[in-house]
């Protein structure tokens, strides 16, 4: 038995969109107002989405439950697999005392908290996003900042906001590649258009982070370093996205920011060292004895888990290697869901039965590369099998609540996609006529908020963007690019991202606090992309490739 999606079940698109948005209202209310733990907010939103799908959209009960279960399974693997392996590597460095050396080596470059945030949250986080994506950068960089002595809420919030700049080109450019696949548009043109939007954000994000940390006056004290990081990143992001393609912008831009900051800080220091209020100077400063102990061998050994991690995720991202590893993937066409749900116009170009394929890419998954990296790291750090599994067990216990939250929010994303609820909200925004260029990035924002992934948002709304753009006389390349550019601003408040960040920083149960920390920044940055897209559609059309 098949079921065809209905995008206006209430007979009024506005009312249907309101009904479809009920799970989102619940998430916002539970996190922003009630400040409820993530597992409670996620489970309530998921249950409400299932009820709306069944009662309002008339989706068969079995189909709705199966779609939700499939999403929950993706939350466990590969998403939770990435989270637990990344935090496991970090925990090994802490348990062995090596993170103290990592901390001292960063303090040797600078013990100013503002500059440490630029190096770790912005530059190193962007590098990890380009190499792996899917939560890895926030897990690693936020964990490192906590280890350095950052307040956990600031560590998580700063890393989520910093992750705005690189998301569209994350995971070796997979969001842009998927956008090209679902729309049939030239991938290079989409890459070029995104590369003519995001660099404007990339320049200001470093300044934004420091202002958020320390206030405007203190931020001006390190403005030169912020400009070095932002301009280096934005310059390489523009060049590589416009002339090389979507695969390398993040990696090249992040390297430019890291090298640029390192060289700049060798010849320039801020007039005053800034630390968090109430933080004792000795906690952030590097003592002479500790500095003397920083031999090259000790530093390399301490950093070796992160070096191995980086090498592994880059290797796993190389196409010939990933293709060979994918050969071991177990593919399960989900009974009761595969080709049961039919998408129709304008969401699909022609009636299309949705494929429900659950892939257990146990060998090619990013989490597997990290787990292999953890084994190599254990050998380097001298961790025996017994201690290895003891630390892994502790890590699992540390993450038992995110093991509930992450599957719930992925289940929410899948039921909203398969039921057509996401499409209803998208169609409502698409009905804004000549103002569609303004609201186009908001579709991407919504998609990433729901799914936690710019790749998934492009798969979800990419075709709708292209079709609507053609109907209102807007460039389809601009609309699809705006979906990706707008999407990056929703990443910082996606329940999936919030769950991952709290897991990495010991804030489990405080998801509402982190949501409140980032939500206003998400709205402001989304508005900036919306205004930019509107201007490029009507006044700056020469920027469109």
Question: Which tens digits make up the pLDDT trace of 191-248?
Answer: 999 999 999 999 999 999 999 999 999 999 999 999 999 999 999 999 999 998 887 8
Return the pLDDT at 70. Answer: 93
Average pLDDT rounded to a whole number, residues 488-506? 89
From CA 344, how far away is CA 417, in angstroms rounded?
Answer: 13
Residue 65 belongs to a domain: yes
Average pLDDT rounded to a whole number, residues 507-528? 92
Return the pLDDT at 133. Answer: 64
From CA 528, how far away is CA 518, in angstroms rounded?
Answer: 16
Residue scoring higher pLDDT (115 or 147): 115
From CA 87, how far away is CA 95, in angstroms rounded?
Answer: 12
**Contact between 498 and 31 (Cβ < 8 Å):** yes
Domain limits for position 251: 14-416+494-519
Q: How many CB atoms lie within 10 A of CB 524?
A: 11
- Signed CA dihedral, 219, 222, 224, 226: sign only: negative
| DSSP state, residue 287 | P
From CA 26, how far away is CA 50, in angstroms rounded?
Answer: 13
Return the pLDDT at 110. Answer: 84
**Contact between 346 and 467 (Cβ < 8 Å):** yes
Most confident of 167-171, 194-198, 297-301, 307-311: 194-198
Residue 474 belongs to a domain: no
DSSP letters, 67-90, are HHHHHHHHIIIIIIHHHHHHHHHH
CA separation, residue 229 to residues 126, 444, 447, 488 (Å) = 12, 26, 29, 19
Do β-strands 352-353 and 330-333 pair in parallel, antiparallel, or remain unpaired?
unpaired
- The total number of residues shown for the chain amounts to 545
Q: In percent, how much of the chain has pLDDT > 70?
A: 97
CA separation, residue 519 to residues 72, 139, 449, 478, 490 (Å) = 25, 19, 11, 26, 9
Q: In percent, how much of the chain has pLDDT > 90?
A: 50
Residue 296 CB contacts under 8 Å (≥ 6 apart), including other chains = none
Return the pLDDT at 422. Answer: 84
| DSSP state, residue 32 | I
Q: Binning pLDDT at 50, 70 and 90, where does residue 287 land?
A: very low
Return the pLDDT at 536. Answer: 95
Half-sphere exposure of 113 (CA within 13 A, CB side): 27
pLDDT of 285 > 60? The answer is: no
Residue 34 CB contacts under 8 Å (≥ 6 apart), including other chains = 41, 512
Q: Binning pLDDT at 50, 70 and 90, where does residue 34 land?
A: confident
Question: Which tens digits make up the pLDDT trace of 385-436?
Answer: 999 999 999 999 888 888 888 888 788 888 988 999 988 988 888 888 889 9
From CA 10, how far away is CA 151, in angstroms rounded?
Answer: 47
Residue 428 belongs to a domain: no
- Signed CA dihedral, 55, 61, 67, 69: sign only: positive
| DSSP state, residue 333 | E
Question: Which tens digits make up the pLDDT trace of 441-469?
Answer: 998 998 888 878 887 788 777 877 887 88
Return the pLDDT at 409. Answer: 79
Closest CA to 461 of 493, 494, 439, 492: 439
CA separation, residue 532 to residues 246, 361, 438, 474, 538 (Å) = 21, 39, 8, 14, 10
Return the pLDDT at 277. Answer: 83
Return the pLDDT at 292. Answer: 58
Return the pLDDT at 148. Answer: 84
DSSP letters, 97-112, are THHHHHHHHHHHH---
Considering the chain, what is the average pLDDT of its residues? 88
Residue 42 belongs to a domain: yes
Average pLDDT rounded to a whole number, residues 485-511? 89
pLDDT of 284 > 70? The answer is: no
Closest CA to 466 of 204, 189, 219: 189
pTM metric for this prediction: 0.82
Return the pLDDT at 134. Answer: 63
From CA 402, how far away is CA 498, in angstroms rounded?
Answer: 10
User: Count of domains in the chain?
Assistant: 1
Residue 506 belongs to a domain: yes
CA separation, residue 217 to residues 160, 214, 272, 280 (Å) = 23, 8, 12, 21
Q: How many CB atoms lie within 10 A of CB 269?
A: 13
**Contact between 394 and 91 (Cβ < 8 Å):** yes
Residue 148 belongs to a domain: yes
Residue 449 belongs to a domain: no
pLDDT of 131 > 50? The answer is: yes
Return the pLDDT at 143. Answer: 85
CA 530-533-534 angle, to 5 degrees, is: 85
Residue scoring higher pLDDT (542 or 172): 542
Question: Would you give the distance in Å from CA 218 to the centre of its chain?
Answer: 28
From CA 52, how far away is CA 22, in angstroms rounded?
Answer: 8
Largest CA distance in the chain: 73
Return the pLDDT at 289. Answer: 52
pLDDT of 280 > 60? The answer is: yes
Residue 526 CB contacts under 8 Å (≥ 6 apart), including other chains = 441, 442, 445, 486, 489, 490
Half-sphere exposure of 38 (CA within 13 A, CB side): 33
Return the pLDDT at 107. Answer: 76
Residue 475 belongs to a domain: no
pLDDT of 544 > 70? The answer is: yes
């Amino acid at each position: 038995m098949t079921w065809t999606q209905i995008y206006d079940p209430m007979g009024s698109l506005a009312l249907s969109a309101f009904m479809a948005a009920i799970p989102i209202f619940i998430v916002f209310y539970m996190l922003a107002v009630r400040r409820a733990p993530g597992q409670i907010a996620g489970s309530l939103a998921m249950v409400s989405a299932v009820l709306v799908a069944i009662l309002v959209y008339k989706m068969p009960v079995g189909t709705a439950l199966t779609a939700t279960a499939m999403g929950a399974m993706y939350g466990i693997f590969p998403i939770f697999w990435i989270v637990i392996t990344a935090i496991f590597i970090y925990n090994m460095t802490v348990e062995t005392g090596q993170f103290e050396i990592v901390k001292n080596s960063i303090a040797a470059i600078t013990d100013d908290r503002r500059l440490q945030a630029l190096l770790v949250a912005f530059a190193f986080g962007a590098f990890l996003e380009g190499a792996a994506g899917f939560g890895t950068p926030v897990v690693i960089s936020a964990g490192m900042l906590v280890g350095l002595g950052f307040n956990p809420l600031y560590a998580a919030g700063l890393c989520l906001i910093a992750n705005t700049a690189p998301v569209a080109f994350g995971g070796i450019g997979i969001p842009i590649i998927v956008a090209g696949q679902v729309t049939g548009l030239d991938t290079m043109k989409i890459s070029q258009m995104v590369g003519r939007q995001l660099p404007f954000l990339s320049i200001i994000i470093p300044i934004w982070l420091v202002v958020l940390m320390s206030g405007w006056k203190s931020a001006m004290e390190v403005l030169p370093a912020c400009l070095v990081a932002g301009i280096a990143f934005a310059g390489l992001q523009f060049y590589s996205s416009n002339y090389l393609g979507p695969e390398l912008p993040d990696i090249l831009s992040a390297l430019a920011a890291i090298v640029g900051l390192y060289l700049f800080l060798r010849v320039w220091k801020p007039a005053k060292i800034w630390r968090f209020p109430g933080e004792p100077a000795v906690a952030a400063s590097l003592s002479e004895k500790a500095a003397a102990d920083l031999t090259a061998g000790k530093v390399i050994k301490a950093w070796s888990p992160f070096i191995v991690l980086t090498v592994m995720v880059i290797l796993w991202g190389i196409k010939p290697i990933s293709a060979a590893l994918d050969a071991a993937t177990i593919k399960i066409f989900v009974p009761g869901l595969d080709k049961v749900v039919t998408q129709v116009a304008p969401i699909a170009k022609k009636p299309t039965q949705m494929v429900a394929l659950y892939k257990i890419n146990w060998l090619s998954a990013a989490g597997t590369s990290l787990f292999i990296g953890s084994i190599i790291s254990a050998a380097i750090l001298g961790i025996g099998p017994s201690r290895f599994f003891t630390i892994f067990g502790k890590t699992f216990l540390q993450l038992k609540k995110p093991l509930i939250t992450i599957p719930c929010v992925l289940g929410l994303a899948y039921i909203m996609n398969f039921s057509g609820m996401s499409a209803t909200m998208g169609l409502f925004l698409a009905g804004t006529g000549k103002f569609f260029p303004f609201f186009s990035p908001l579709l991407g924002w919504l998609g990433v908020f729901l799914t936690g992934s710019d790749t998934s948002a492009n798969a979800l709304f990419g075709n709708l963007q292209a079709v609507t753009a053609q109907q209102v006389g807007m460039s389809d390349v601009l609309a699809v690019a705006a979906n990706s550019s707008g999407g990056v601003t929703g990443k910082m408040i996606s329940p999936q991202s919030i769950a991952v960040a709290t897991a990495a920083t010991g804030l489990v149960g405080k998801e509402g606090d982190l949501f409140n920390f980032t939500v206003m920044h998400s709205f402001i940055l989304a508005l900036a992309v919306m205004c930019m897209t509107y201007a490029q559609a009507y006044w700056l059309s020469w920027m469109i490739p």
